A and B are shown apart, each in its own frame.
Chain A
Amino acid sequence: MIAVYVIVGIVVILLILIIANYNGLVRLRNQTKNAWAQIDVQLKRRYDLIPNLMETVKGYMKHERETLEAVTNARNLAQQKAGGSVGERSRAESELSGALGRLLAVVENYPDLKANQNFLALQEELTSTENKIGFSRQYYNDSVLRLNNKVQMFPSNIVAAITGFKLGEFFEITVAEEREAPRVSFT
């Protein structure tokens, strides 16, 4: 009689473990999807901001045609790749981030432009959108890390293998400037 209870008990505990692990996996996968959607929202926002920025900047920057064209081209390319895989997208978006960074660096040479209210508002929006892309990427990568840990670690890896959970893909930015070591100032 006791043996039956023990067996039933073990089965129940196993079931609970499997359910808990499965639910945990589903939660993480949904979190990852949600985080990805967040990145998407911010990337779209950036596509929308760039034409406005170009309009404002054009009048001031007559001698920077190459820089401006690079941004426009990178934006169009990124928008084309919007339906592609995570890897493809991160490459296209890194390109755009780099082109925008170069444009904003050049702005320092145009004091008139820096005093333009319209430009200042756009710059704030652009800076913030860049930050938001960074933060949503950060959150997405954290989520992917947690999902991957759960998919690979015992005992949840068994549940993941049976129910067909796949590893998530990290969203990496491969621009050289972003890989630079952090600047630390002691002033």
Chain B
Amino acid sequence: MWEQIRDNQVRSVILTVAMGMVLLLLGYFLGLSFMGSGLGGLIIALAIWVIMSLVAYFQGDGIFLALSRARKISRDDHPRLYNIVEEMKIASGLEKMPDIYIIDDPAPNAFATGRNPDKAAVAVTSGLLQKLNRDELQGVIGHEIAHVRNRDVLLMAMCGVLLGTIVILAWYATRILFFSSMAGGRRSSSGGGQAQIIILAIGIVLMILAPIAAQFIYFAISRRREYLADASAALYTRYPEGLASALEKIAGSTAQLKSANQATAPMYTVNPFRKKGRVASDLTSTHPPISERVRILRAMAGASLADYEQAYRTAHGGQKGVVRGAAGLVGETGATGIRAASSEKGPVEKEDKVARTRETSDLVWRLNKYQTIDCDCGVRLRVPPKFKGEMVRCPRCGRVHSTR
């Protein structure tokens, strides 16, 4: 099962190297056209890239979690979520339990961070906890753990940094070009002649094309990793329907994630910026269209990677797959039948929804350091952390409670 993941890894690395080449090419020609030395440009490009990579590598998770205003929770805050994460940790064979974070946001979504599987964290929004049942939540967490397990987090962070470096370089180069031409072309006296003009032309073309090319490569890598994470989630849970129906519920929600921005978008389960009714399979998105992901998951005959590959090919009507080499694998299909739904589903769904909503709001209040007091008359009091008094009176029955 891991051989294909490694195979996919190789392809991603090739694409990343291609992006690195774009950066080097851009640096070289910009150096040549603006400083007269290709090597100088190369060094500047590399220096920016190295610094940004180091920051992303060592600070990335912290910055990212802070940006999304995520708060760490413990086992007692939400036993079900903790259990599900632990289940997926076991199913994927991760060695260390990832940290769990909650984002107080009604838009259902989730993401994973961590530069290696030992430093992983999984974050989910309160909206997700509220809307999804156990099987669905398991599917989503399986998807996130798959990102950790397949080391997508590091890959996407590094690709993001590469993309950022290319964009920054091209942007500054445009400014320099603009201002130096305003200043009257003082460098034209150096007299390079035709060669100089050609180099400048190449530099300008690269300046325009490099960010676009890099973005396309970046999106291609991102989409590929999403499919692979879906396939892995189905394999871990042995229940593709869970993730499929979770994706549908997430797609059906109209709320937009407040704390997401363009840079952090690829980390989420579902693109937080998706527009409704956007047409399938477009090249300028970090995520494959949800409808297609759902269709592939639902078409799976078993739960193995080979089954996902099969479903993907059927959906795309072609021979090109996402999980390379999976079709040639023997022996894995027998052990990977789809399991039955867990008992929570069915007629109790509606009660569960109320219970989940209550549970989630309790959690969010607690995370905001509100104290909860249950009055005997059935009223639940929420005492804000700024409340200084020692006693509080129940507004309905008038009983007095102490606030510790």
Nearest residue, chain A, Cβ from B83: A128
Contact across chains for A131 and B340 when beta carbons are under 8 A apart:
no
**B185 in contact (CB, < 8 A):** no
Which residues of chain A are within 8 angstroms of B339 by Cβ–Cβ distance? 134, 182
**B84 in contact (CB, < 8 A):** yes
Q: Which of A127, A138, A143 contacts B342 (CB 8 A)?
A: A127
Which residues of chain A are within 8 angstroms of B341 by Cβ–Cβ distance? 183, 185
Contact across chains for A35 and B335 when beta carbons are under 8 A apart:
no
Residues A125 and B93 in contact in the complex (CB < 8 Å), given A135-B87, A149-B331: no
The answer for the CA separation of A141 and B335 in the assembled complex, in Å, is: 8
Nearest residue, chain A, Cβ from B86: A132
Q: Which of B1, B84, B343 contacts A128 (CB 8 A)?
A: B84
Which residues of chain A are within 8 angstroms of B1 by Cβ–Cβ distance? 142, 146
The answer for the CA separation of A182 and B135 in the assembled complex, in Å, is: 15
The answer for the CA separation of A135 and B84 in the assembled complex, in Å, is: 11
**B7 in contact (CB, < 8 A):** no
**A31 in contact (CB, < 8 A):** yes
Contact across chains for B91 and A135 when beta carbons are under 8 A apart:
yes
Query: Which interface residue of B79, B88, B90, B331 has the most chain A CB atoms within 10 A?
Result: B90
Nearest residue, chain A, Cβ from B341: A183
Which residues of chain B are within 8 angstroms of A142 by Cβ–Cβ distance? 1, 335
Contact across chains for B93 and A31 when beta carbons are under 8 A apart:
yes
**A145 in contact (CB, < 8 A):** yes
**B236 in contact (CB, < 8 A):** yes
Contact across chains for B335 and A128 when beta carbons are under 8 A apart:
no
Residues A38 and B83 in contact in the complex (CB < 8 Å), given A145-B331, A145-B332, A182-B338: no
**B80 in contact (CB, < 8 A):** yes
**B238 in contact (CB, < 8 A):** yes
CB under 8 Å from chain B, chain A span 118-136: 121, 124-125, 127-128, 131-132, 134-136
Nearest residue, chain A, Cβ from B134: A127
Contact across chains for B93 and A128 when beta carbons are under 8 A apart:
no
**A180 in contact (CB, < 8 A):** yes
Number of chain B residues close to chain A: CB under 8 A: 25
Which residues of chain A are within 8 angstroms of B79 by Cβ–Cβ distance? 121, 124-125
The answer for the CA separation of A136 and B339 in the assembled complex, in Å, is: 15
CB distance from A126 to the nearest CB of B (A): 10
Contact with B along A131-172 (1 / 0, CB 8 A): 110111011011101100100000000000000000000000
Contact across chains for A135 and B90 when beta carbons are under 8 A apart:
yes
Q: Which of B87, B236, B335 contacts A132 (CB 8 A)?
A: B87
CB distance from A129 to the nearest CB of B (A): 8
Q: Count the A-B residue pairs with Cβ separation under 8 angstroms: how many?
A: 56
Which residues of chain B are within 8 angstroms of A141 by Cβ–Cβ distance? 335
Q: Which of A124, A128, A146, A183 contacts B340 (CB 8 A)?
A: A183
CB under 8 Å from chain B, chain A span 169-187: 180, 182-183, 185
The answer for the CA separation of A180 and B86 in the assembled complex, in Å, is: 26
Contact across chains for A139 and B90 when beta carbons are under 8 A apart:
yes
Q: Which of B93, B134, B332 contacts A139 (CB 8 A)?
A: B93
CB distance from B71 to the nearest CB of A (A): 22
**B321 in contact (CB, < 8 A):** no
Residues A135 and B331 in contact in the complex (CB < 8 Å), given A38-B90, A124-B80, A182-B340: no
CB distance from B87 to the nearest CB of A (A): 5
Contact with A along B234-272 (1 / 0, CB 8 A): 001010000000000000000000000000000000000
CB under 8 Å from chain A, chain B span 70-94: 79-80, 83-84, 86-88, 90-93
Q: Which of B80, B91, B238, B340 contacts A180 (CB 8 A)?
A: B340
Contact across chains for B90 and A136 when beta carbons are under 8 A apart:
yes
Query: Which interface residue of B93, B339, B343 has the most chain A CB atoms within 10 A?
Result: B93
Residues A135 and B340 in contact in the complex (CB < 8 Å), given A31-B93, A124-B83, A141-B335: no
CB distance from B397 to the nearest CB of A (A): 22
CB distance from B140 to the nearest CB of A (A): 15
CB distance from A169 to the nearest CB of B (A): 14
Which residues of chain B are within 8 angstroms of A131 by Cβ–Cβ distance? 83, 87, 342
Contact across chains for B342 and A139 when beta carbons are under 8 A apart:
no
Interface residues of A (CB under 8 A from B): 31, 35, 38, 42, 104, 121, 124-125, 127-128, 131-132, 134-136, 138-139, 141-143, 145-146, 149, 180, 182-183, 185
Interface residues of B (CB under 8 A from A): 1, 79-80, 83-84, 86-88, 90-93, 134, 236, 238, 331-332, 335, 337-343
10 A-B pairs closest in CB distance: A128-B83, A135-B91, A135-B90, A182-B338, A131-B87, A136-B90, A183-B340, A182-B340, A139-B93, A135-B87
